Protein backbone atom coordinates (compact mmCIF):
# COMPACT_ATOMS: atom_id res chain seq x y z
CA UNK A 1 0.00 0.00 0.00
CA UNK A 2 1.29 3.45 -0.98
CA UNK A 3 0.18 6.44 1.10
CA UNK A 4 0.76 10.08 0.21
CA UNK A 5 -0.76 13.13 -1.48
CA UNK A 6 -1.73 14.02 -5.02
CA UNK A 7 1.20 16.08 -6.30
CA UNK A 8 -0.20 16.89 -9.76
CA UNK A 9 -3.33 16.08 -11.74
CA UNK A 10 -4.22 17.21 -15.26
CA UNK A 11 -7.94 16.72 -15.82
CA UNK A 12 -7.59 17.34 -19.58
CA UNK A 13 -5.01 14.57 -19.97
CA UNK A 14 -6.54 12.42 -17.25
CA UNK A 15 -3.32 11.62 -15.45
CA UNK A 16 -1.38 12.61 -12.39
CA UNK A 17 1.29 11.88 -9.83
CA UNK A 18 1.06 10.66 -6.24
CA UNK A 19 3.91 11.72 -3.92
CA UNK A 20 4.57 9.13 -1.25
CA UNK A 21 5.47 10.38 2.25
CA UNK A 22 9.16 9.63 1.60
CA UNK A 23 9.15 11.73 -1.60
CA UNK A 24 8.87 8.96 -4.21
CA UNK A 25 6.56 9.78 -7.14
CA UNK A 26 4.09 7.35 -8.73
CA UNK A 27 2.17 7.93 -11.95
CA UNK A 28 -1.54 7.13 -12.26
CA UNK A 29 -4.24 7.46 -14.88
CA UNK A 30 -7.75 8.68 -14.06
CA UNK A 31 -9.20 5.18 -14.59
CA UNK A 32 -7.19 4.18 -11.49
CA UNK A 33 -9.29 6.45 -9.24
CA UNK A 34 -11.37 4.05 -7.16
CA UNK A 35 -14.60 6.07 -6.88
CA UNK A 36 -15.00 6.29 -10.67
CA UNK A 37 -15.10 10.12 -10.81
CA UNK A 38 -12.04 10.48 -13.11
CA UNK A 39 -10.87 13.62 -11.26
CA UNK A 40 -9.06 14.14 -7.96
CA UNK A 41 -7.90 17.26 -6.13
CA UNK A 42 -4.24 18.21 -5.92
CA UNK A 43 -3.21 17.95 -2.27
CA UNK A 44 -5.72 15.20 -1.45
CA UNK A 45 -4.40 12.58 0.97
CA UNK A 46 -4.67 9.17 -0.67
CA UNK A 47 -3.71 5.54 -0.52
CA UNK A 48 -3.27 3.21 -3.48
CA UNK A 49 -1.83 -0.10 -4.64
CA UNK A 50 1.54 -0.15 -6.39
CA UNK A 51 1.76 -2.17 -9.63
CA UNK A 52 4.10 -2.51 -12.58
CA UNK A 53 2.52 -0.51 -15.40
CA UNK A 54 2.25 -1.29 -19.09
CA UNK A 55 5.66 0.21 -19.88
CA UNK A 56 7.43 -1.56 -17.01
CA UNK A 57 7.47 1.35 -14.52
CA UNK A 58 5.83 1.45 -11.10
CA UNK A 59 2.37 3.04 -11.09
CA UNK A 60 -0.49 3.18 -8.62
CA UNK A 61 -4.05 1.91 -9.04
CA UNK A 62 -7.13 1.84 -6.82
CA UNK A 63 -6.40 5.44 -5.71
CA UNK A 64 -8.63 6.32 -2.74
CA UNK A 65 -8.84 9.46 -0.63
CA UNK A 66 -8.24 9.08 3.10
CA UNK A 67 -9.07 11.29 6.05
Cα angle 16-20-25, degrees, rounded to a multiple of 5: 45
pLDDT confidence of residue 32: 96
> What confidence category does residue 62 fall into, taking pLDDT thresholds of 50, 70 and 90?
very high
CB 50 within 8 A of CB 26: yes
CB 40 within 8 A of CB 9: yes
The string of pLDDT tens digits covering residues 5-61 is 999 999 999 999 999 999 999 999 999 999 999 999 999 999 999 999 888 889 999
- What pTM did the predictor assign? 0.91
Domains in the chain, start-ordered, CATH in brackets? Answer: 2-65 (2.40.50.140)
Local structure of residue 54 (DSSP, 8 states): T
Q: What radius of gyration, in Å, describes the C-alpha atoms of the chain?
A: 10
Give residue 2's region: left, alpha or beta (phi > 0; psi -120 to 50).
Answer: beta
Amino acid sequence: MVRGVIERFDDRRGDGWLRRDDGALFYFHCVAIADGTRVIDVGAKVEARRVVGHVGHDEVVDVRTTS
